Amino acid sequence: MDMLKKVPVKEQAPEVRAKNFEEVCLGYDEQEAVMEAGRCLNCKKPFCVGGCPVNIDIPGFITKLKEGSIEEAYQIISKDSALPAVCGRVCPQESQCEGKCIRGIKGEPIAIGKLERFAADWARQRGIRPVKEAVHNGKKVAVIGSGPAGLTCAGDLARLGYQVTIFEALHQPGGVLVYGIPEFRLPKDEVVAKEIQNVMDLGVKIETNVIVGRSVTIDQLLDEEGFDAVFIGSGAGLPRFMGIPGENANGVFSANEYLTRSNLMKAFDESYDTPIFRGKKVAVVGGGNVAMDAARTALRFGAEVHIVYRRSEAELPARVEEVHHAKEEGIIFDLLTNPVEILVDDNGWVKGMTCVRMELGEPDDSGRRRPVVIEGSEFDLALDTVIMALGTSPNPLISDTTKGLDVNRWHCIIADEKNGKTTKEGVYAGGDAVTGAATVILAMGAGKQAAQGIDEYLRNK
C-alpha cells in the first residue's frame, strides 16, 4: 500500500450513473476503511480538528476505526455531529479538515470524510443510535427550519434537557438536504431521514407545514405559546436572477425550483406525477454546488448540458469532487463565458442564449480575479432550457413579521457569531439565514454555537 495516497473509493462508472439517480460514490467497506485509518498519524497537535467547524475528535474516531472498534468511532463522531452520514457525503473536506491534515503536505490527506461516512453508515445499518443522556429541565425552545442548522441546534438543546419543537414550512424536514441536494449524492430515505430520526429520538418534535411569519409569528411563540427562546435556522431559499432580457421566457428556471421538483417532489421517480421540463439542450448558469447538481440532474433526464460560468476553473466554487464527477459524466464546461440575453421564439419559449467571452482582471472584494468582458466576443448558444444557479438569499418573511429583529441589506439576520444572539431578546439565529448561502457544516457549527448561547441565556434568565 502506498501510504502517501488515499485508499481509492468505489464509484458507479460514469457512463452507467449518467443514466440513473442512484448514489455515485459507494463508500469504503470495512477492510478499506481500516486500511485508510491506518494512514493517520494520530498527531499530537491535530490540525484536522481545527479545520472542522463542529470540532469532531478526528484522530480519536480514526484511532478507534484502526483498532476495529467501529461503534466507538461512531459514538465519538456523534458527540459533536448530528448528521455524520450526511457530512461524510457532502462536506467540502478539501477546504476543511482534509485541507489541514498533516498527511496532505507530502501526499494525499487522510480521507476523513469517507471514514466518517463509513462509521455512520456502519452504525445505521446495524440500528446503532447516538447515546442519549438528557434529563428534562422544563424549558421550551422553538426552532424555525429543519435544515442542518435547525437540526443541530435542536439536537444539542435536547441533549441539554430542553423541550424542543422544530417548525418547518415544507411537508418534509431536512431543508436543502431533502429539497436541494440530489438523491445521487445524498440518499433521502436511507440516509437523511434516518439521521433526522436520530435527532427526533433525542426528544425533538418536528411540526411540518408551519410557515413562521404566516401560520404563527415569533412574538406569538414567545408570548402566547410558552416558548422561552427561539432559534431561527430558516436558510436562504430565495433564488437570484441576472436581470437580463428574456429571463421570463418559458424554459427558464431557478435551480431551486428545478431541483425541488426532482428531489423533494420526486419527479425523477416514474411512480410520481410531478411534472419536470426535460430539455434536450440545457445551459446551467453558475459554478457552485447548486449549478453542478442542476446540471447533473438535467443530464440524467437525457439532456446535453453546458455549465456557463464567468470565471475560470480555478474559481469554480463547487466542491472539487462534484466538478470532477460532472466532467466524467459528460457535462460541457463553457468557462469565462457570461450570458447577456436569453433568446425567445415567437411562442415565448427559450431558443438560445447570447453570451460574451470574459477574461480575468484584478482581484475584486472576494479576493477572486474580476471577470472582464472581451469586446466583440458575443456569440449565440442554441438551447431549449436555461437554469439559473446564481446564488440565493434569505426570504424576508420572518424579519418582516418580527419587530426588533435586524437584518443587513441582503436580508441576512444580524447575529453574534459566537452565540447566535440577534438584536431581539430571546431570539437566536444561525446558518444560511445569517451568512447567506454557505455550507452544511458551517450551518451545523452555527446551530451548535447558538444552542450554547441559548443555554447560557436561559440558565441566567
Ligand X SMILES: Cc1cc2nc3c(=O)[nH]c(=O)nc-3n(C[C@H](O)[C@H](O)[C@H](O)COP(=O)(O)OP(=O)(O)OC[C@H]3O[C@@H](n4cnc5c(N)ncnc54)[C@H](O)[C@@H]3O)c2cc1C
Burial 21-35 (b: 16+ CB within 10 A, else e): bebbbebbeeebbbe
337 within 8 A of 306, measured Cβ to Cβ: no
Nearer to ligand X, 203 or 431 (CB): 431
| Angstrom distance (rounded) from CA 377 to CA 80 | 51
Could you say whether residue 42 binds ligand SF4 (CB under 6 A)? yes
Q: Which does 58 bind (CB under 5 to 8 A by kind): ligand X, ligand SF4, none?
A: ligand SF4
Q: Which does 218 bind (CB under 5 to 8 A by kind): ligand X, ligand SF4, none?
A: none
Nearer to ligand X, 170 or 358 (CB): 170
Residue 212 has what DSSP assignment? Answer: B
| Angstrom distance (rounded) from CA 180 to CA 189 | 15
Could you say whether residue 41 binds ligand SF4 (CB under 6 A)? yes
Nearer to ligand SF4, 111 or 454 (CB): 111
Q: Which does 289 bind (CB under 5 to 8 A by kind): ligand X, ligand SF4, none?
A: ligand X
Write down the least CB distance from residue 144 to ligand X, Å: 5
**Residue from 47, 55, 128, 266 that binds ligand SF4 (CB under 6 A)?**
47
| Angstrom distance (rounded) from CA 327 to CA 318 | 13
Q: Which does 149 bind (CB under 5 to 8 A by kind): ligand SF4, ligand X, none?
A: ligand X
Q: Which does 263 bind (CB under 5 to 8 A by kind): ligand X, ligand SF4, none?
A: none
Q: Can you give the binding site for ligand X, defined by CB under 6 A?
A: 90-92, 144-150, 167-170, 175-176, 180-181, 210-213, 233-235, 237, 259, 289-290, 293, 319, 395, 397-398, 431-433, 437-441, 443
Cell of 373: 468582458
Write down the least CB distance from residue 294 to ligand X, Å: 7
Write down the least CB distance from residue 113 to ligand SF4, Å: 11
Sole window of 35-43, 275-283, 305-313, 399-407 interacting with ligand SF4 (rule: CB under 6 A): 35-43
Cell of 209: 407545514
Sole window of 38-46, 86-94, 328-336, 436-444 interacting with ligand SF4 (rule: CB under 6 A): 38-46
H-helix or E-strand containing 344? strand 337-344
Q: Which does 237 bind (CB under 5 to 8 A by kind): ligand X, ligand SF4, none?
A: ligand X
Residues in 85-114 at the binding interface with ligand SF4, rule: CB under 6 A: 101-103, 110, 112
Q: How many CB atoms lie within 10 A of CB 363?
A: 10
Q: How many CB atoms lie within 10 A of CB 154?
A: 31
Nearer to ligand X, 39 or 261 (CB): 261
| Angstrom distance (rounded) from CA 197 to CA 191 | 10
Burial of 227 (0-12, 13-18, 19+ CB in 10 A): buried
Residue whose C-alpha is closest to residue 252's, from 205, 310, 189, 294: 294
Mark residues 50-89: x for contact with ligand SF4 by CB under 6 A, - for none.
--------xx--x---------------------------
| Residue type present at position 62 | I
Cell of 343: 433568446
54 within 8 A of 445, measured Cβ to Cβ: yes
Q: Which does 110 bind (CB under 5 to 8 A by kind): ligand X, ligand SF4, none?
A: ligand SF4
192 CB-near residues (< 8 Å, 6+ apart): 86, 174, 177, 178, 186
Write down the least CB distance from residue 51 to ligand SF4, Å: 9
Q: Which does 41 bind (CB under 5 to 8 A by kind): ligand SF4, ligand X, none?
A: ligand SF4
Sole window of 40-48, 80-88, 301-309, 383-391 interacting with ligand SF4 (rule: CB under 6 A): 40-48
125 within 8 A of 115, measured Cβ to Cβ: no
Phi and psi (nearest 5°) for 341? -160, 145
Q: Which residues of this protein are in contact with ligand SF4, per CB under 6 A?
A: 40-43, 46-48, 58-59, 62, 101-103, 110, 112
